[in-house]
Amino acid sequence: MRIFDLAVKDIRQIVRDRKAFLFLLAMPITFTVLFGIGFGGFHAGENADLRLPVGWLDEDNSAASIAMHAMLSQSQVVRLVDAGIMRNELMAQVDEGTVAAAVIVPYGFGGQLRDGDVIPLDLLADGSSQAGFSAETEIQAAAQRLFAAARAAQISAAIAEAHGVSADYDGALARAMAAWSSPPVTVYVTETGFSAEDQTLLGSANAFANTSPGMMAQFAIAGLLSAAQILTLERKSGSLKRLLTTNMSRNAILLGHFVAMFLIIFAQMSLLVLFGQLFLRLNYFSAPVATLLLITMSALFSASLGLLIGVQAKSEEQVVMYALVAMFVLAALGGAWLPLEFTPETFQRIAFMTPIAWMIDGFQEISVRGLGLTAIADSLLVLLLFSVALVGLALWRFRSEER
Amino acid sequence: MAQSTAIVATTLSKSFDELKAVDAVTFTVARGEVFSLLGPNGAGKSTTISMLACLLRPESGDATVMGYSILDDPQAVKACIGVVPQEIALYEDLSARENLEFWGKMYGLRGAKLKQRVDDVLALIGLTDRQKDRVDKFSGGMKRRVNIGVALLHTPDVIIMDEPTVGIDPQSRRHILDGVKDLNRQGVTVLYTTHYMEEAQELSDHIAIMDQGKIIAGGTHDELVTIVGEKDRIEMELSHSAPELLSQWGALEGVEAVSAENGIVTVLVNDSNRILPHLFGAASQHDVRITSVTIEEPNLEAVFLHLTGRALRD
Amino acid sequence: MKIVAIAVKDMKQSSRTALVWVFMFVVPLGITLLFYFMFGNIAAGDEFELPQTAVVLVNQDRGSLSGGGSMGATVADILQQEAFAELIVVTESADADAARDRVDKGEADVALIIPPDLTDALLQGNGSATVELHKDPTLTIGPALVEGIVSQILDGFAGTTIGTKVTLEQLEAQDVAITAQIAQEVGMAFSADAQTPPEALIALSTPDNQVEQNPLADLLAGILGGMMVFFAFYTGGATQQTILIEEERGTLARLFTTPTPIRTIMGGKSMATLFSLIGQVVILMGAGALVFAIDWGEPLPMLLAAIGLILIAAATGVFLVSMLKNTRQAGTVFGGVLTITGMVGLLPIFMSGAGAPDAVIFASLLVPQGWAMRGLTLSAQGATVTEMLPTFGVLLLWCAVFVAIGLTRMRRRFA
């Protein structure tokens, strides 16, 4: 019982420290939202046009260029912005990022195409940016279809002439372009965790899928700042020595602090999960038991780390140092800032040596893949093992140091 | 004139909001003497010396230190004083030597002179062997010594010490008091504040007693005790109360006053050695036994009690 | 020079705190090193090397071509060509559900299910077949790449189908009787055409300022620059905070008893702040250039960016500390305010790959860290002195306001 009395005392101290709330809630929410916006979350409403703006300059004004314009106007990926300006101005717009890319149909494009030759379209884009790459892919595909249609019109005209009929190149081109609006074969994308019916909002389309668990993991460590400082404060004020004069065992004292840290982090993560569910449309509640267990294990891991920091640190300054360094290193390494899929395989393997990667993976299994307990069993186990190891280390340090 | 006086304080006053902390305080400290400001906590001693050290600006009044006005020439005042604050004001993460070197520079010392003075002070405070150790590794007494040493670096004309013995062990206190006497012997003027009357009594050439922002009495120790009339105070406990005995005692020659309170009889006399036998004789005549006797010679405590009706340590 | 003695004493004290070293140098360089290992492979080749995407292919195509096989089998063959081997690893499976299940379990990244009617749809030209691409929702790049490859292959096939169909319709509309011979002639023409290799349809040019000579160094410039900005503000705050520490320990009052004017004391502290910041920025930028081959830009613009950062970090320190009552509050402010504003100001760095949206850039310019980072970024991108001046001007303005407020408050407090 005294363990809980000690825990209650700790929690009271933590709650009275206003900066605790900053680290526990205000900062993780702020950064989840900001990172989310950065990766394309939160749009100005359901009807907003999310397509990438692409500048369009037609120097050719041929049937082919008009057909190309018509096809790109139907695109789900890009939105044409009729520039009607000079090349260099368009280049400047791409430079400034006003448009994701720009297409220039050079003079003579349609005429050459009619003759079976190609003058390439000029595309201005920064292929290294995601927006530029997406625009490039879409325009490349459209150009390929236009080229195919032009070839069809050309062959069709040639055969017609061979059979003594007048060639109707433009009619054939129009017919071919029309045919491309319902091609004989299409690719349909489905995702784990989403049945065919609710494909309208794919999980992967949620920009918060990685940021939400990532920031949760990062700030679960930052949240330890105040909690771990309680231990150093206790040491400094002499109340730890005084506690040791009571007949409470060393392990019980440590356990009391541990319980307090666990409860604080558990409450923090629960609130952040709730925030994700309610405001970021992440489906954490699809497997409530699994989510609850994952929060529990994550909080257990964070509290274990906090306990070790509290035991190891000699001053409040050191607590800040250990906690922030642990936070920065684990968050960067574990994929809290940047989805691991962007990193090479070796790095991913290293990432999964940190509990953060397992934590994020577990939350994504639930919220993005729509899976349950069996899918996160490995995450739970890894977090538990880390917790046991850290608590063991903390107990050992506490014993050897205080005697 | 300027050569014979170190400090002249003239009607110094300072208020904090409603509280009049120092109220028209006037005193003079002669060169080469130890001058104590004695008074209970909150009497205004620290505020007074903060003004003399140019930390606080007086509301009214002025003071000169070695002839320089604290209002007009604070930098010159600061150059000729060394202040020992009540709390240990040192950089604990620097070594003793590094502290002394830094503070020496702040007092304007440089180069060989600085090195020489640091060495001298280290020897004086007995920490030459430990000069390279960080101050936070020192005992309380050692820190106190460094704390005082800093104020001696630039060989100031006046040293101002604010309750330097508060909260320390008897041995360290002894060390500090002896140190003050040594400094004084070398001709340094010392302005010392304390609420321990024994310290004021032991160290001081002149003492000013402060209470509630005012100096209520001043002079040498002997001058001050004459305020209460150079009378010995005899306190006695009796086996039982006897009003007739008290009136007989009161009539004895050499007895100034007799009073009884809470079973203790206090008799003020001119010469306790001569009167005491007569007091015992009268008691036996009335069949009263005297169960305890305390004789107190006149002291500053009595002066303070006499002037304020309160004990010094209240 | 008392002012120097105070500065030296302050720096001596700081240098004995492990935390100072950790935040000034260890963390910024450590994180940069981490990113160096994360993306180190960019340095080797010019392309960003992605991990291979595991594709499970289910070919359900029941149609058959005259020469044997099916369109589905052809797709499978193409995907397993050498050309794609670096990007995708294809395994075949007979069962669509089993394939989806493997993706669901995270054993594969993408399941590609070719429908039974693919050959028919392409040969007949009148139905529509749907190829299903079932993907792991936590992945974006790999599946998009597979989708792109598959779409391109299918578009190639569809081109022939559409071409044949359009030509026949066109001839029919012009009253040419479609005999088997004509149909075959048209079919042959398009098959032959499909064999000719496609020409380059697009000439891509990248805007000047985004031509990347050394993409890794550019990435690391962002990371190290960001970390440097982030922690320079801590240095500014922490070194100015010594005045609060001195006030609490009584040494400030003692300093005031020495013949040292207040402006000398403040000046000494500011000098310690500036020296520390100069040391930090010089060492970090130097290490960046030497160890990570970061190009910070031309000497003068780089100098402007560095000076801007040093001044604003110091000024922010003066401003923040003047707002504080004691060191307890300092913990909250440095932990909270500097972390939040720092991360807001550096958000564009984290999103440089995706292209930071206007809202994020705007938010970053509401805090001084954003402007300091802007200066470094501009310089690293090769901006000229003239191009640097507006940003530098804003930084100076910001400094002036912070220093004015800070010094006024400090003077009122300690005078």
| Interchain CB contacts (distance < 8 Å): A and C | 326
Which CATH architecture fits B5-226?
3-Layer(aba) Sandwich (3.40)
Chain C residues closer than 8 Å to A129 by CB: 210, 353-355
Compute the average pLDDT of residues C29-52: 65
Of the spans A74-78, A201-205, B37-41, which averages the highest pLDDT?
B37-41
Residues C293, C329: one domain? Answer: yes
Q: Is B155 part of the contact surface with chain C (CB cutoff 8 Å)?
A: no
Give me the number of domains chain C comprises.
2
In a domain, C47, yes or no: no
Which CA distances in Å does A205 have to A127, A191, A194, A209?
21, 11, 12, 8
Shared-domain flag, residues C258 and C133? no
Tell me whether residue C151 is in a domain.
Answer: yes
Q: C13, B93: Cβ pair inside 8 Å?
A: yes
Highest mean pLDDT among A37-41, A211-215, C178-182, C278-282: C278-282
Query: Which tokens go with A283?
Result: 């489906």
Contact A140 C166 (CB under 8 A): no
Q: Please tell me the predicted confidence (pLDDT) of residue A128.
A: 63
Residue A42 has pLDDT above 50, yes or no: no
Candidate from C19, C136, C155 with C-beta closest to A145: C155
Q: Are residues C241 and C350 in the same domain?
A: yes
Residue B68 CB contacts under 8 Å (≥ 6 apart), including other chains: B76, B77, B80
Judged by a CB distance cut-off of 8 A, whether residue C258 touches chain B is yes
**What percent of chain C clears pLDDT 70, i.e. is strictly above it?**
89
Tell if the CB–CB gap between A185 and C171 is shorter than 8 Å: no
pLDDT score of C211: 47
Q: Give the pLDDT confidence score for residue A313 in this predicted structure.
A: 84
Q: Report which of residues A237 and B14 the model is more confident about.
A: B14
Residue of C22, C190, C363 with shortest CB distance to A325: C22
| Ramachandran area for residue A265 (φ above 0: left; ψ -120 to 50: alpha; else beta) | alpha
Q: Which CATH architecture has domain A52-198?
A: 3-Layer(aba) Sandwich (3.40)
Residue of chain C whose Cα is closest to the Cα of A127: C206
ipTM of the prediction: 0.73
Contact B89 C250 (CB under 8 A): yes
| Claim to verify: residue C355 and residue C219 sit in the same structural domain | yes
Please judge whether A192 and C199 are an interchain contact, meaning their C-beta atoms are less than 8 angstroms apart: no
Interchain contact, B53 vs C5, CB within 8 Å: no
Listed range (A179-183, A289-293, C88-92) with the worst mean pLDDT: A179-183
Given A27, A95, A192, which is nearest C136 (Cβ)? A192
Per-residue pLDDT, B181: 92
CA of A86 to nearest chain C CA: how many angstroms apart? Answer: 15
What's the whole-number mean pLDDT along residues A342-365? 85
What pLDDT does C399 receive? 95
Chain C residues near residue A365 by CB distance under 8 angstroms = 106
For residues C200 and C214, membership in a common domain is answered with: no
Q: Is B145 on the interface with C (CB under 8 A)?
A: no
Touch between A and C (at least 3 CB pairs under 8 Å)? yes
Shortest CA distance from C7: residue in chain B: B102
- Residue C46: what pLDDT? 44
Q: Which of C148, C170, C204 is the endpoint of a domain?
A: C204
Residue C155 sits in the same domain as residue C224: no
Q: Which chains touch A (3 or more CB pairs under 8 A)?
A: C
Dihedral class, residue B287 (left if φ above 0, else alpha if ψ from -120 to 50, else beta): left
How far apart CA B155 and CA B82 sit, in angstroms, is 8
Q: pLDDT averaged over chain A?
A: 80
Q: What is the pLDDT of residue A186?
A: 84
C263 touches chain B (CB under 8 A): no
Least confident of A250-264, A316-330, C275-289: A316-330
Average pLDDT of the residues in A64-82: 82
Which tens digit of pLDDT belongs to each residue from A218-234?
Answer: 888 877 777 787 788 77
Q: Report the mean per-residue pLDDT for chain C.
A: 83
Contacts C351 to A, Cβ<8 Å: 38-39
Least confident segment among A18-22, B193-197, C305-309: A18-22
Residue type, C183: A
Region of poorest pLDDT, from A172-181, A236-245, B264-273: A236-245
Measured distance CA(B222)–CA(B204) in Å, rounded: 11
From the CA of A276, how many Å to the nearest CA of chain C?
A: 16
pLDDT digits 0-9 by tens, C329-354: 777 677 677 877 888 888 777 665 44
Q: Are residues C38 and C58 in the same domain?
A: no
pLDDT at B18: 86
Distance from CA of C42 to the nearest CA of A (A): 10
- In whole angstroms, give the CA distance from residue C94 to residue C103: 15
Domain definitions of chain B by residue range:
5-226, 231-297
The 3-class SS string of chain B reads CCCCEEEEEEEEEEEECCEEEEEEEEEEEECCCEEEEECCCCCCHHHHHHHHCCCCCCCEEEEEECCEECCCCHHHHHHCEEEECCCCCCCCCCEHHHHHHHHHHHCCCCHHHHHHHHHHHHHHCCCCCCCCCEHHHCCHHHHHHHHHHHHHCCCCCEEEEECCCCCCCHHHHHHHHHHHHHHHHCCCEEEEEECCHHHHHHHCCEEEEEECCEEEEEECHHHHHHHHCCCEEEEEEECCCCHHHHHHHHHCCCEEEEEEECCEEEEEECCHHHHHHHHHHHHHHCCCCEEEEEEECCCHHHHHHHHHCCCCCC
C254:B89 CB<8 A: yes
| Closest to B25 in 3D by CA, of B264, B203, B218, B306 | B218
Q: Is B88 on the interface with C (CB under 8 A)?
A: yes
C6: domain range? Answer: 2-42+210-414
Q: How many CA atoms lie within 13 A of C224 on its CB side?
A: 32
What residues does CATH 3.40.190 cover in chain A?
52-198
Q: Chain C residues with CB inside 8 Å of B106's CB? A: 2, 5-6, 255, 258, 260
Query: Are C207 and A91 inside 8 Å of each other by CB?
Result: yes
Q: CA–CA separation, C336 vs C233, rounded Å?
A: 12
Of A304, A276, A293, residue with least CA distance to A372? A293
C99-125: pLDDT as tens digits? 988 888 888 889 999 998 888 888 876
Secondary structure element (H or E) that encloses residue C112, with its range: strand C110-114
Residues C180 and C288 in one domain: no
- The closest CB to that of B106, out of C249, C250, C258, belongs to C258
pLDDT band, very low/low/confident/very high, at A196 (cuts 50, 70, 90): very low
Find chain B residues with C-beta within 8 A of C260's C-beta. Answer: 78, 106
pLDDT band at C45 (very low <50, low <70, confident <90, very high): very low
In tens digits, chain B (314 residues) has pLDDT values of 445 899 999 999 999 888 899 999 999 999 999 999 999 888 999 999 999 998 888 999 999 999 999 999 888 998 899 999 888 888 888 899 999 998 888 888 888 999 999 999 999 888 999 999 989 889 888 888 899 999 999 999 999 999 988 877 888 888 889 989 998 999 999 999 998 888 998 999 999 999 999 999 999 988 888 877 767 888 888 888 888 888 888 888 888 788 887 778 888 888 888 888 988 998 888 888 888 988 877 778 778 877 887 766 54
Asked if residue C182 and residue C166 are part of one domain, the reply reads yes
The long-range contacts involving B1-6, CB below 8 angstroms and separated by at least 24 positions, are B2/B66, B2/B67, B3/B31, B4/B30, B4/B31, B5/B29, B5/B30, B5/B31, B6/B30, B6/B31, B6/B32, B6/B33, B6/B65, B6/B66, B6/B157, B6/B158, B6/B189
Give the CATH number of domain B231-297.
3.30.70.100
Residue B92 contacts C where some CB pair is shorter than 8 Å = yes
Inter-chain contact C12–B76, Cβ cutoff 8 Å?
A: no
Touching chains, B (3+ CB pairs < 8 A): C
- Decide if pLDDT at A194 tops 60: no
Which of A131-135, B157-161, C296-300 is predicted with the least confidence, judged by mean pLDDT? A131-135
Mean pLDDT for the stretch of residues C37-65: 70
Kindly determine whether residue B83 and residue C261, on different chains, have CB atoms separated by under 8 Å.
Answer: no
Boundary residue ending a domain (C204, C232, C255): C204
Indicate the pLDDT class of residue C361, thresholds 50, 70 and 90: confident
| Mean of pLDDT values over A16-31 | 74
**Residues C247 and C116 placed together within one structural domain of the fold:** no
